[in-house]
Amino acid sequence: MVSDDVQVAADGAVEAPPAFSLTSGRVRGYHRAAVDTFLAAARTAFESDADDLGAADVRVASFPLVKNGYVVAEVDAALGRVEDALAARARDRVVRSRGAGAWVEQARDDAQVILDHLARPKRHRFARTGVLTFGYRIDEVDHVGTRIARYLRDGEPLTAEQLRAAAFRMQRGGYREEQVDALLDAAVDVILAVR
């Protein structure tokens, strides 16, 4: 007898249920095998206490979009939890080896670098693409940058999840994506460091 949560393939092989909800119709989702493989590697790295995979690796993970794939929002939420766990482990390691003061000092230094960058005048905070090339919409990036600065300087609420979910429309002559993404990643690192 097969339980309700186990599926039987056409060839009679028993398959585990999908780890996440599946998309249907025209909606595309993350490639199931790619996600499963990545999460298995993350679990192995975490459980073995290996340095093979870190929070930054999880943040930049990407998967092909396919029909009948995993629902993107569910996978992204799970990846956020994995990133949080790996960041907490990294913090614990540094605190154990060098002390809490070293961790706080590093987070403070990282925050100051971000604040210095965001102190530039609006519309000039990042390099721009050419007039015929698309980049991130300047006003939207500046708005998020202002929120980051207020978090770091004044303690206004901002979560890693909000930064992970930040999405910008495109415009000709907009901000260069790689520079904006790097600053957002650094801000997420600081938020995770001080949790």
For 183, the 3-state DSSP assignment is helix
pLDDT bucket at 110, cuts 50 / 70 / 90: very high
pLDDT of 13 = 63
Tens digits of per-residue pLDDT, 141-188?
999 999 999 999 999 999 999 999 999 999 999 999 999 999 999 999
- What is the Cα–Cα distance from 147 to 153, expressed in whole angstroms? 10
pLDDT of 49 = 82
pTM of the model as a whole: 0.76
Give the residue among 187, 74, 80, 192 at the shortest CA–CA distance from 125: 187
Does position 11 have pLDDT exceeding 90, yes or no? no
